[in-house]
């Protein structure tokens, strides 16, 4: 190894991705120790950093070319020593001249003074703040004024952020292409309109509210004027990924305007958007020929004496006709009222699955989907991954149909109460699955799933799908398609 040239050593080190392997490599020889230090560009640190500021300073000295740093104190307790504070951010700003990507998670001792030091990091292009309770709008303004190259900005669970002067400045600067705002009580959907010209370059946008949002009722934009709609005349035709979660809309108000503006969408996720109008969604879908991934999580609303989800088969028909590149679909239905019904029919779902090249399909809470639906899915030529959650009318007979699906290789079953060991026997006989996940299916045993796929995950425990704060995340095989 000592005879290898430095460029070759560098190439070897670049191909080693696990931190523990890199640490082991650096112990082999002084030459490898020095080479690994020069090549290391990313690092993730947190609870094990003692004493925090001094240890970080030593790491920055050892790795002079760090460009991506994550500081994560998730699960931290006071027994683990002091967290990194403002002085730690001062160390980063002074000792990491190449810093371009920074993530701070659960860093409770960093406030506006500390975050303000990042204004000296002129190369910073990505900043992600996840639960930063001591940082306010004042600190964010210092960062966005000093870091004019920011292209990725995430703000998650930052309770003190209220005033949005920083957001206006960020929009005027016009360099951000990815903006994520979640669980920030002081930021409403109307505040985000102040992003203004920043919408032009934006390619990815996520906005999510939690904290019992559905009980508060719709809020009106305080600056809305029915006769003067300039505030909603915003261009966002470069937006490729859009996720709106847990918001209440009324016609022509707030972030609803996005459903009329985004013509370049490739990935769309609407999670419990109360007030969603089918006509607006259809108008959006008719202009989104490049759409590849769609997530619809729907909650029933009052319709006469009953409750029904707001979308119907008409949406699915337009989706099938207008989006020929659609490859991943999630349809989740939450029933918190009774009686409730699903606006989509089984026939509509099958029409979509057979008219688009769908590779991954998830049905969650589809109470009207039964064995005949499984028979219909068996003719979906491109279907590789199927997830069924809380689909109470699918039986063992339906599983015998689905084994005939030409391309199916990944199957996820969650809380499907009518499936038994006989269904697993069908999968064992077919020998076509690469992976099988079975969770909370009470009549399926661990023994029955053995040999049903090359990779098997089994859990007898149930999972809850009724949470409005965030339904279950897709299985890894489903998420990897558009990660």
Residue 211's pLDDT is what? 62
How do residues 74-91 score in pLDDT, each as one tens digit? 999 988 989 999 999 999
Instruction: For the chain, give the percent of residues with pLDDT over 90.
Output: 65
pLDDT over 90 at 431, yes or no: yes
Alpha-carbon separation of residue 6 from 32, 146, 156 (angstroms):
9, 37, 42
Q: Looking at per-residue confidence, does 431 or 217 come out higher?
A: 431
How do residues 104-152 score in pLDDT, each as one tens digit? 999 999 999 999 999 999 999 999 999 999 999 999 999 999 999 999 9
Give the span between the Cα atoms of 173 and 92, in whole angstroms.
Answer: 24
Give the span between the Cα atoms of 258 and 270, in whole angstroms.
Answer: 12
Residue 480's pLDDT is what? 40
pLDDT band, residue 483 (cuts 50/70/90): very low
Residue 352's pLDDT is what? 97
DSSP-derived pairing of the beta strands 301-303 and 306-308 = antiparallel
pLDDT band, residue 31 (cuts 50/70/90): low
Q: What is the mean pLDDT of the chain?
A: 87
Q: Which CATH architecture has domain 1-40?
A: Up-down Bundle (1.20)
The residue to which tokens 């609870």 are assigned: 47
Q: Looking at per-residue confidence, does 319 or 254 come out higher?
A: 319
Average pLDDT over every residue of 164-187: 93
Average pLDDT over every residue of 466-478: 36
pLDDT band, residue 350 (cuts 50/70/90): very high
């Amino acid at each position: 190894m000592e005879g290898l040239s430095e460029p070759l050593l560098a190439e070897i080190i670049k191909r080693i991705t696990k931190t523990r392997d890199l640490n082991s490599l650096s112990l082999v020889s002084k030459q490898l120790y020095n080479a690994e230090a020069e090549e290391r560009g990313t690092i993730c640190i947190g609870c094990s950093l003692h004493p925090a500021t001094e240890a970080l300073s030593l790491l920055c000295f050892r790795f002079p070319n760090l460009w991506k740093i994550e500081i994560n104190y998730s699960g931290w307790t006071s027994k683990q020593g002091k967290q990194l504070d403002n002085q730690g951010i001062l160390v980063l700003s002074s000792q990491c001249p190449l810093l371009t990507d920074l993530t701070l998670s659960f860093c409770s001792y960093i406030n506006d003074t500390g975050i303000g030091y990042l204004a000296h990091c002129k190369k910073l292009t990505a900043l992600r703040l996840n639960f930063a309770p001591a940082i306010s709008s004042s600190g964010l303004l210092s960062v966005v004024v000093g870091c004019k190259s920011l292209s990725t900005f995430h703000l998650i669970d930052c309770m003190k952020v209220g005033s949005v002067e920083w957001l206006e400045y960020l929009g005027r600067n016009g360099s951000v292409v990815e903006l994520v705002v979640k669980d920030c009580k002081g930021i409403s959907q109307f505040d985000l309109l102040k992003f203004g010209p920043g919408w032009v370059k934006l390619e990815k946008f996520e906005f999510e509210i939690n904290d019992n949002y559905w009980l508060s009722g719709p809020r009106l934009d305080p600056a809305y004027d029915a006769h003067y709609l300039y505030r909603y005349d915003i261009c966002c035709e470069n937006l490729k990924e859009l996720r709106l979660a847990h918001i209440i809309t009324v016609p022509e108000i707030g972030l609803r305007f996005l459903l009329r503006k985004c013509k370049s969408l490739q990935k769309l996720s609407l999670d419990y958007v109360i007030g969603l109008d089918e006509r607006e969604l259809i108008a959006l879908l008719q202009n989104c020929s490049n759409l590849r991934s769609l997530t619809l999580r729907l909650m029933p609303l009052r319709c006469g004496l009953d409750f029904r989800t707001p979308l119907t088969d008409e949406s699915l028909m337009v989706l099938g006709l207008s989006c020929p590149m659609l490859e991943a679909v999630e349809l989740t239905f939450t029933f918190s009222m009774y009686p409730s019904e699903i606006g989509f029919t089984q026939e509509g779902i099958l029409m979509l699955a057979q008219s688009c090249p769908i590779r991954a399909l998830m049905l969650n809470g589809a109470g009207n989907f039964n064995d005949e639906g499984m028979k219909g899915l068996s003719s979906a030529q491109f279907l590789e991954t199927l997830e069924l959650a809380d689909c109470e009318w699918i039986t063992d007979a339906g599983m015998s149909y689905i084994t005939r699906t030409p391309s199916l290789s990944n199957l996820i079953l969650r809380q499907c109460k009518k499936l038994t060991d006989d269904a697993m026997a069908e999968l064992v006989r077919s020998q076509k699955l690469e992976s099988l996940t079975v969770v909370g299916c009470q009549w399926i045993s661990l023994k029955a799933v053995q040999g049903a796929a090359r990779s098997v995950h089994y859990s007898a425990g149930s999972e809850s799908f009724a949470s409005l704060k965030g339904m279950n995340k897709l299985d890894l095989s489903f998420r990897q398609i558009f990660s």
